[in-house]
Structure 1
Amino acid sequence: MNRPRDMPTTLTIDASRPATTPLVDTLRMGANTSPDGRTIGINSRYLTRDGEPWLPVMGELHYARVPEAHWDDALAKVKAAGVGIVSSYVIWRYHEPRSGQFDWNARLDLRRFVEACAKRGLYAFVRIGPWVHAEVRYGGIPAWVVDQVPTRSDDPLYLQYVQRFFAEIAAQLEGLLWKDGGPVIGIQLENEYNLTGPQQGPAHIATLKRLAREVGLDTPLYTVTGWDNAVFPRREVAPVFGGYADLPWGTSTAMSAPSEVYGFRFTSRVGGDLGAQTHNSEPGDADAVASETPFLGAEFGGGVPTMYRRRPVLDPDDIAAMLPVQLGSGVNLYGYYMLHGGRNPPGDVDGQESTATGGYNDLPIVNYDFQAPFGANGEAHPVLGKLRPLHLFLQQWGSDLATCDVYAPELLPRGADDLETPRFSVRADGDRGFLFFNNHVRQHRMPERQGVQFAVKLATRTVMLPAAPIDITPGTWFVWPIGLALGGARLRYATAQPVTRLSTPDGETYVFSTTDGIAAEFAFEPGYVTRIAPADSRSLLTTDEVNGVLVARPTPGSVFIATCSDDTRITIITLASEDIERLSVLPFDGQRRLVLTDALAFERDGELVLRSTGAASFDLYVYPPLQHAPISTRAFVEAPLDGIFQRFAVSVPPVAFDVGVTPLRFAQMVPSIASGGAARAAVEPAPESFGKAAAWRIDVPEEALNAPGLSNAYLSIQYAGDVGRLFSGADLIDDHFYNGLPWQIGVRNVTIDPQQSLVLTVLPMRADAPVYLDARHDPRSAISDQVAEILGVSWVPEYEVVFSRSANG
């Protein structure tokens, strides 16, 4: 219920209890010291790096689902996104399709992939299974194993096969483990393991760990997934957790109820339904070890897969709003599944999870885009701009956040469907901390919070913020600092989100993001700041004193300089949300710089790379300005300073090709969708049904398939139907369960034979199909029987501009 304007709401929270002292030696991990003395550690509350608290971001990228020629490019983009650890499944069925015949070549070359991680300065976390799920048939266990022995147990023959597989992995990783100077810092065993039958249970996880260590997989960290009543041996492994914005593995054809992932986890780290394939009616082991293990994340959805019976489409805030909630719940490793999409290896035409082979879900044969921040082709999706500022925040202040305990308000939501009770938390340590607030729940409108102030009781005082009540609109989420040190200054609070810090010749520069609909307010502790002034004529701000506290209120886009009592100066840049989503922080020309651009920006071997899909013009803003004009692969114009930013404008010659679409056959009436399988819900039509699909020949000039002078080009297909498939001759090169989003196929990401016909088929969607589609993308209301039509096919170029350091620099 909204309160009248004259009745402000004070949201209080008591964060005065002393932070918990970490317990050490609660976990038996592996060798944690590198040859040069660096360490990776773990205590009961957080990870450590070289003995210091460490709160990194981890993202899943399956090397087997990305062509090996694209690994380095993908990892450079991942690094620029603010991610520090790359996790990846080792999918057994790909590597040992027949007993004793191993394949570690091309896109299956695990060693080369981990070496590529090291080259890009990324840590690696290897998820060795042997059962991994990954939306793969039998969870990745080869069919020849499943056919002859009980799996996921201590069956002697199964363990013999597992040990041989682990030994092969160890051979691939020889010299690449942390103890040898390599990037591999952790091993995950099994996945979603909650089995308690004969030769199963926690003892099986202990066996897998023993086998891994016996073959030489000795790492600082060993983990298991902790959700869905998982079982594991105490002290031997650290549980990791996750959560998803929607349930594509669900059975309902209706919009999902509010997801628990948008509510703070004050009582348990275990989330809701994460799609586990097995079930355990008894409580799992995760909650029992919460005081001995840190809250680590490995599967917070960077998107969701599209499954046959449910095809949700996520908005960027559906993913981004999870971060303040989970960080505010105490997460001290934020891990995505997935960060980067891909495609199943060519030729593995029956390797996807499917109800036909006993799986719970039906997945596309090839495509694994996942609506991830980087899609199946490595293209950046809009959600990346929402996430990157939070990653940068964790890079800069994660070590401060890691030591902070979680404090809950007295009044908590009754459950995930309670949208009225405000959702917030504080993580604090003494008189410093961060306020986390969320007013976003996917597909469910939250109320406007009118006349809100926060009262946060810390160790020695209570901080009220902001200075006057504010209104918080539906969909808003934020992280605000309390007691944050900024060089020689100290904030009492700010109503803007900290993003990053730069060291420049003129002093420290801090970047903050404004919160939409709320004025940015920087309240400085008395005695720290003697003067505040705008940095340029374009910057607008007001200052006043509130109860002895100096308060600065800059407008979005403004820059101001605070002179500290020790005569040092700090620069504070406030960027509006639409600009912060364009921000990257990249090393170039000798130092870290702010880079503002609509293009995807990343660093590669000392060069600054910009990529733009569809647009042949680039605008680039850089701070601090470069001392010398860079060298570019394209002609550029250096414009006058835009405030404190140096601006460059670059245009490249546009490239265009026409795509021909020729009908080959019309669709036939398809039978009703059957229900069945383990989920007792809609199942993908039988293979014979696909002969009734409509078909078109797609004519693309051979030169267009080579993407001349481009980093890539995409066939962008928009259609209405049930299932789309694209063939080069007889080879299926990509497929797509219709969800309303454009279907993008990178010409450099799939193998298209220019001598063969390119054929697109669309299986009709029946008006009565029992599948879930978001209402905004559902074509069924406009049809009487079925639909299979092409709405458009285009060739979309991806342009690239590369800046190199000037020879005069």
Structure 2
Amino acid sequence: MFNVRWISPRLMLGCAAILCISLAGPVQAASLLEVDASRPGPAVQTGHLKMGTAVSPRGETLEVNSRYLTRNGKPWFPVMGEFHYTRYPRAYWEEELRKIKAAGVQIVASYVFWNHHEERAGEFNWNDDRDLRAFVDLCGRLDLYVVVRLGPWAHGEARYGGTPDWVVTMMPTRRNDSAYLQYTERFWRQVGHQLQGRLWKDGGPIIGVQLENEYNLAGEGRGPEHISTLKKLALEIGFDVPYYNVTGWDGALYPVGEVLPVFAGYPDDPWDRSASMLPPKEVYAFRFDSRVAGNVGTLTAAAGQGSWVLDADKTPFLGAEFGGGVPAMYRRRPHITADDIGAMLPVQLGSGVNLYGYYMFHGGSNPQGHTTLEESTLIGGYNDTPIISYDFQAPIGQYGTQHESLGRIRRVHHFLDAFGSSLAPMHVHAPARLPASPSDLGTLRFSVRGQGDRGFLFASNYVRQYPMPAREDVQFSVKLPSGELVFPQQPIDIPSGAYFIWPINLSLSGVNLRYATAQPVTRLDDQGTPLYVFFAQPGIPVEFAFDQATVRKVSGGSAKRTALANKGVVVAAGIKPSTAEALRVVDAAGNTIRIMVLSEEQSRQFWVTDLGGRRRGILTSGQLLSSDSGLIVRNLEEPTFRIGVLPALDPLPSGNLALRRERNDGLFQTFEARTAARQVAVTVQKIRAADAAPKIMVGGTANAALQPAPEQFGRSAAWTVTVAPNALEAVSDAYLDIDYQGDVGRLFAGTTLIDDNYYNGITWRVGLKRFHEEIRKPLTLTVLPLRDDAPIYIEHRARSSSALDGQLAEVVRARVVPEYELRLDVPGAH
């Protein structure tokens, strides 16, 4: 263990104090949290998984082994985000894909909903918002990979799981029935025609295909036999891709070795029958002996544990549906916070996940056809979802605005891009003391992933809706092949709600960082030297420990000199988070690296993007996306833009607004621009009072609250909403924000439903850009009353005590929020 020796106070200058320590002597700590990470993981197995063509025409390769994915022979840890092209207007696909890419996502996954393309038998629609080929081509142009979720059954909160009505009512589905397979083949051949020449082997962006979804059906012509039949059919049609996957949760059945199981976890279960707060969710508890989360919403009952138990040692732990939010269900309406999403990442990564896939990453709106296309108990479905809205409380919402969760997760995406190749081969090590169950809130949750002496520590003191106690006087003891590492040097308190990833023996351009009590984000190159960006967790002191053998000098701020021990490590402590340089380290060969430690708030505003031919860090509170000539920043409601760039741009950019060069913000070159603030008038006038709402019925396959029958919506209160005709002038978009209380809100243009909302206390936001024609006339807003005795789950903070006669239907406020845009044109942008 370490023996700590403080150096003279004279040397504790600037923003960092330097400590010298040796490797002998015990450390006394009030709470020493131990993990043995000295054992090597199982050997990596290769060549046993039957995937498709791995080599592109340019000679690039995508492969998989028993532990991780590979790209060009090296470990690869991508981020995947679900975005449904048929749930978003084609006119805006490109800007939304650019937002997704700017957030650090490398793979876009999308269902191909059968009933969105062949709602009536033999009538195929691949036009406009249903143009799969155009969507994939856009992904390819923007250097985004694509995973096509072929189905034929999808779920996705779609009508009959995406299966056309005429199929459901005519033949058995989801099995080796000859009629079902005949029509599946016809549809898939249509899909194949749309995607011809766009597979990885052809030089296209499609790298994977998912077969079926949430498939746990056993029996004749079902189970692994059916998945084998679907894969064989996909190959016959020409879907030759590097990766074939199936969902592996809830007792999924599949042919071992033929497909890769992918897994899931959500911060709440809106499909649950309960109208109460749920027990602590397992997505906040590390998993060491299972890859399966709890109830993920599968609509069929499992026959057993599923096939994943047979090949867990032969396939990597891949995630496809870690909740970027949750869908709205009539009977259950959770309000998901940013930390509910952010806290899931250290837990899943620390459980061994090697592909972080979100469902959803970008919300959308259900298209309309000959019927409405949402999941509904009115047609025998298990859940009731809105007719239109599929916002999902996703990091990027239904109308393309960023939710607060985006800042929490984006910094981890940048970490995976910079350090994922090191993390992917690492084995998971459980601590000596484990929580007894997901409901055990008294034990700190953590793990270590390691390979040899290198690794990362993952910790979380956060569980949704359950305040966690602060952990006082904590140190971690990690047993490595070379010996025991105890850190930090003095016991610390871990605040309630904290979650983080800390490095162990991380190589920083040849300098060995023994550990840091700050989370790594990325590496940039600035002024010819590597610059490593970290961020600090509030309430946790920041210190960096370097192996003495790999450093010549460590200085911070205005420190004049650094003392080194003959043995041991050099510890820099007392670092204050900022945008300035925190540390400068000279390695044994005389080369320099620099370290920046951002605050928690600054890290949520930090982006990494390619700009002007270089990888740069961008600091902005707005929403960032790339353009062909540079960058676009969009601010909601705030007409002043402030943007930091690192490394600095030379020559300076131009913009659609007058740019002012400001004093640097630490290491960031800083610009400001301002546009005229817009005030858009909106009037709301009540035109009809609500009638008494009937008692909510309980029943259906879930035996839970059922959405009201269509005729009941005539009891809604109604208002006209008139938006000023200049709402979209001089802005990139404008949003109608509606605060109301009730059961279900619906917004109409004339008699056409354009959006709807299940009340849960969150402001209902409607993007107006796509409705520029509709808002020329007044809209109609209706609110179905919410009864006091409604057996539905709405979080306590959203429940109102102002109900009249036992029910409530009220519009509190409506306003228009402008979205301003700054375009930066940068020479040699891309």
TM-score range, shorter-chain basis?
Answer: over 0.9
* Aligned counterpart, 2:374: 352
Q: Which amino acid aligns with 1:613?
A: L
Name the SS of the counterpart of 2:129 in structure 1: helix
Name the SS of the counterpart of 1:386 in structure 2: helix
Alpha carbons of 1:808 and 1:490: their partners in 2 closer, same or farther (altered >3 Å)?
closer
Alpha carbons of 1:700 and 1:529: their partners in 2 closer, same or farther (altered >3 Å)?
same
Deviations 1:212-271 (A, max 9, x none): 111111100000000000000111101000100001001111111100011111011011
Taking the aligned partners of 1:146 and 1:540, their CA distance within structure 2 comes to: 76
* Contact 1:713-1:797 at 8 Å conserved across structures: yes
Taking the aligned partners of 1:807 and 1:635, their CA distance within structure 2 comes to: 20
Taking the aligned partners of 2:356 and 2:667, their CA distance within structure 1 comes to: 33
* Contact 1:38-1:49 at 8 Å conserved across structures: yes
Alpha carbons of 1:343 and 1:546: their partners in 2 closer, same or farther (altered >3 Å)?
farther
* Aligned counterpart, 2:615: 592
Q: Which amino acid aligns with 1:466?
A: P
* Aligned counterpart, 1:556: 577
- 2:622 aligned with 1:602: no
Alpha carbons of 1:421 and 1:710: their partners in 2 closer, same or farther (altered >3 Å)?
same
Q: C-alpha displacement at 1:528, in angstroms?
A: 1.4
* Aligned counterpart, 2:502: 480
Q: C-alpha displacement at 1:628, in angstroms?
A: 2.2
* Contact 1:673-1:682 at 8 Å conserved across structures: yes
- 2:300 aligned with 1:278: yes
Taking the aligned partners of 1:48 and 1:808, their CA distance within structure 2 comes to: 29
> Which residue of the other structure, out of 53, 56, 63, is the alignment partner of 2:75?
53
Deviations 1:97-123 (A, max 9, x none): 111111000110000000111111100
Q: C-alpha displacement at 1:145, in angstroms?
A: 0.4
Taking the aligned partners of 2:506 and 2:685, their CA distance within structure 1 comes to: 62
> Which residue of the other structure, out of 723, 740, 748, is the alignment partner of 1:700?
723
Q: C-alpha displacement at 1:349, in angstroms?
A: 4.8
* Aligned counterpart, 1:117: 139
1:381-420 to structure 2, matched below 5 A, reads 381-420=403-442
Q: C-alpha displacement at 1:414, in angstroms?
A: 1.2
Identity percentage over the alignment? Answer: 50
Q: C-alpha displacement at 1:709, in angstroms?
A: 2.1
Q: Which amino acid aligns with 1:470?
A: I
Q: Which amino acid aligns with 2:817?
A: V
Alpha carbons of 1:546 and 1:254: their partners in 2 closer, same or farther (altered >3 Å)?
farther
- 2:823 aligned with 1:802: yes
- 2:485 aligned with 1:467: no
Q: C-alpha displacement at 1:768, in angstroms?
A: 0.7
Deviations 1:159-198 (A, max 9, x none): 0000011111111110100000000000000000000133
* Aligned counterpart, 2:14: none
> Which residue of the other structure, out of 762, 765, 774, is the alignment partner of 2:786?
765
1:26-45 to structure 2, matched below 5 A, reads 26-45=48-67
Deviations 1:467-511 (A, max 9, x none): 111111111111000000001311111111000001233310000
1:231-242 to structure 2, matched below 5 A, reads 231-242=253-264
Aligned-residue CA RMSD in angstroms? 1.8
* Aligned counterpart, 2:654: 631
Taking the aligned partners of 2:85 and 2:724, their CA distance within structure 1 comes to: 30
* Aligned counterpart, 2:454: 432
* Contact 2:553-2:562 at 8 Å conserved across structures: no
Q: C-alpha displacement at 1:542, in angstroms?
A: 9.6
* Aligned counterpart, 1:682: 705
* Contact 1:224-1:238 at 8 Å conserved across structures: yes
* Aligned counterpart, 2:160: 138
Aligned pairs, how many? 801
1:773-792 to structure 2, matched below 5 A, reads 773-780=794-801, 784-792=805-813
5+ residue gaps, structure 1, are 1-5
* Aligned counterpart, 1:77: 99
Deviations 1:358-410 (A, max 9, x none): 11110000000000000000100010000000000000010100010000012
Q: Which amino acid aligns with 1:211?
A: L
Q: C-alpha displacement at 1:736, in angstroms?
A: 0.2
Name the SS of the counterpart of 2:549 in structure 1: coil
Taking the aligned partners of 2:186 and 2:561, their CA distance within structure 1 comes to: 66
Name the SS of the counterpart of 2:57 in structure 1: coil
Q: Which amino acid aligns with 1:652?
A: T
* Aligned counterpart, 2:24: none
Taking the aligned partners of 2:543 and 2:592, their CA distance within structure 1 comes to: 19
Name the SS of the counterpart of 2:548 in structure 1: coil
> Which residue of the other structure, out of 666, 669, 685, is the alignment partner of 1:662?
685
> Which residue of the other structure, out of 155, 170, 176, is the alignment partner of 1:148?
170
5+ residue gaps, structure 2, are 1-27
Deviations 1:565-606 (A, max 9, x none): 111100100001000000001222221111111111222213
Alpha carbons of 1:755 and 1:612: their partners in 2 closer, same or farther (altered >3 Å)?
closer
Q: Which amino acid aligns with 2:287?
A: R
TM-score normalised over the length of structure 2: 0.94
1:155-194 to structure 2, matched below 5 A, reads 155-194=177-216
* Aligned counterpart, 1:613: 636
Q: Which amino acid aligns with 1:181?
A: G
> Which residue of the other structure, out of 78, 100, 106, is the alignment partner of 2:128?
106
> Which residue of the other structure, out of 341, 357, 360, is the alignment partner of 1:319?
341
- 2:111 aligned with 1:89: yes
* Contact 1:767-1:783 at 8 Å conserved across structures: no
* Aligned counterpart, 1:646: 669
Q: C-alpha displacement at 1:776, in angstroms?
A: 1.0
Q: C-alpha displacement at 1:782, in angstroms?
A: 5.5
Taking the aligned partners of 2:480 and 2:370, their CA distance within structure 1 comes to: 57
Name the SS of the counterpart of 2:249 in structure 1: coil
Taking the aligned partners of 2:828 and 2:218, their CA distance within structure 1 comes to: 65
- 2:711 aligned with 1:691: no
Q: Which amino acid aligns with 1:225?
A: T
* Aligned counterpart, 2:34: 12
TM-score normalised over the length of structure 1: 0.97
Alpha carbons of 1:734 and 1:543: their partners in 2 closer, same or farther (altered >3 Å)?
farther
Name the SS of the counterpart of 2:428 in structure 1: strand
Taking the aligned partners of 2:439 and 2:189, their CA distance within structure 1 comes to: 48
* Aligned counterpart, 1:64: 86
Taking the aligned partners of 1:573 and 1:613, their CA distance within structure 2 comes to: 29
Between 1:599-608 and 1:312-321, the stretch displaced more is 599-608
Between 1:434-443 and 1:583-592, the stretch displaced more is 583-592
* Aligned counterpart, 1:732: 753
Taking the aligned partners of 1:163 and 1:82, their CA distance within structure 2 comes to: 35
* Aligned counterpart, 1:504: 526
* Contact 1:721-1:765 at 8 Å conserved across structures: yes
Deviations 1:29-79 (A, max 9, x none): 111110111011011110000111001000000000010011100110111
Q: C-alpha displacement at 1:806, in angstroms?
A: 4.8
> Which residue of the other structure, out of 562, 584, 596, is the alignment partner of 1:573?
596
- 2:275 aligned with 1:260: no
Alpha carbons of 1:23 and 1:132: their partners in 2 closer, same or farther (altered >3 Å)?
same
Q: C-alpha displacement at 1:547, in angstroms?
A: 7.0
* Aligned counterpart, 1:3: none
Name the SS of the counterpart of 2:245 in structure 1: strand
- 2:536 aligned with 1:514: yes
Q: C-alpha displacement at 1:433, in angstroms?
A: 0.4
Taking the aligned partners of 1:546 and 1:657, their CA distance within structure 2 comes to: 68
Q: C-alpha displacement at 1:805, in angstroms?
A: 1.5
Higher RCO, 1 or 2 (CA under 8 Å, sep at least 6)?
2
* Aligned counterpart, 2:15: none
> Which residue of the other structure, out of 735, 748, 761, is the alignment partner of 1:714?
735
Taking the aligned partners of 2:549 and 2:46, their CA distance within structure 1 comes to: 39
Taking the aligned partners of 2:676 and 2:444, their CA distance within structure 1 comes to: 52
* Contact 2:548-2:567 at 8 Å conserved across structures: no
